[in-house]
Structure 1
């Protein structure tokens, strides 16, 4: 799966913002001319942060490549702004003080281990996002999250468990499945400003 160019990433972020603002105005944004890569099925997340303090304001997406990227991004953007259960819906006026971030994901792959402690060696902070599955429980954290909070791998796993509604040491249990994925991250440097690719590993 090829990486997006900065031009394509810029389109993704600007498209996500336009979708949100159109939706908040009660309009449906339809774009027929867009880069061909957006027809490929890919996972993606849209994250909204307040500016300039960068507090999370909404984050929702599709971990699996089940929809063409253009459709997944549209749905993720609207959901991040209006359907994240942790926050009240974003208002149109708020969008002047919000920066939009888009993460384009690789397909999640199961991390094979003989013993759970091996996760500590196989997971790389800044490279890997994680998904945990245990019975009906499921949680996901994007690769930028542990970097932003300064977590090591064990802390990353603990918070992943908490996100799934599990005890922080549940990653040590038999029957737990942990998947990793990578993400290409594009974000506005300021509301409606230029878009940059966010590098997590120097």
Structure 2
């Protein structure tokens, strides 16, 4: 029970961290470097990078996604909406999943490594909504839930695709394996979230 309450306290601190945008430039650099080194090590069948020390920010539990692109085209994206481990470990696991276990793609090959770029999305807490006017394209991602179906699209998907809120909801329904208009069904749960999204630009 004590461990559970400690987890809740850490989660609250991380939500406050995200709400206030306090991931530092060094935090972002660390996560991008971990992502790159993890993918390269796994593809080359080498040991994973060793972690000596990280900032307290990266010790907090929060969901995160890792996106791999090759020549500006999606090459893999895996993540976790919630996490019971430290953020940096969640990012390592997501990087491994994006490189090796995204069911839409084959495993990343050695010759592809020079062409890959990396992006990390650290998620805020989720908020259930009942009015699509609450969705702000470019700020919010969407989670759709109905029965055993669940789908999520990150904030940058809506912005990069030029979606309206209705289009964003429809596409998220498709991601969940539902009819595009399923978001109108009263039994469908719609949740929004924000994300701290950054890529290799933080290294320059």
TM-score, normalised with respect to structure 2: 0.86
How far apart, in 2, do the equivalents of 1:25 and 1:98 lie? 14
Instruction: Kindly indicate whether residue 95 of structure 2 is the aligned counterpart of residue 77 of structure 1.
Output: yes
As a proportion of its length, which structure holds more helix? 2
The answer as to 2:125 corresponding to 1:107 is yes
Displacement of 1:50 after TM fit? Answer: 1.2
Describe the shift of the 1:178–1:16 C-alpha distance in structure 2 as closer, same or farther (beyond 3 A): same
Any stretches of 5+ residues in structure 2 without a counterpart?
Answer: 1-15
Would you say how many aligned residue pairs link Structure 1 and Structure 2?
184
* Residue of structure 2 in register with 1:143 after alignment: 155
Q: Aligned residue for 2:172?
A: 160
Query: Which residue number in structure 1 is paired with residue 7 of structure 2?
Result: none
Q: Does 1:44 align with 2:79?
A: no
Match of 2:35 in 1: 16
Query: Which residue in 2 is equivalent to 1:28?
Result: 48
What displacement does 1:29 show?
2.1
* TM-score when normalising by structure 1: 0.87
Alignment deviations for residues 64-118 of structure 1 (CA, whole Å, 9 cap, x no partner): 133210111110000001100000011122111010000111121212x2xxxx2
Q: Give the root-mean-square deviation of aligned CA atoms.
A: 1.3
Q: Which residue of 2 aligns with 1:122?
A: 134
**Aligned partner of residue 7 in structure 1, secondary structure:** helix
Deviating above 2 A after TM superposition, structure 1's stretches of 4 or more consecutive aligned residues are none
Q: List alignment gaps of at least 5 residues for structure 1.
A: 197-202
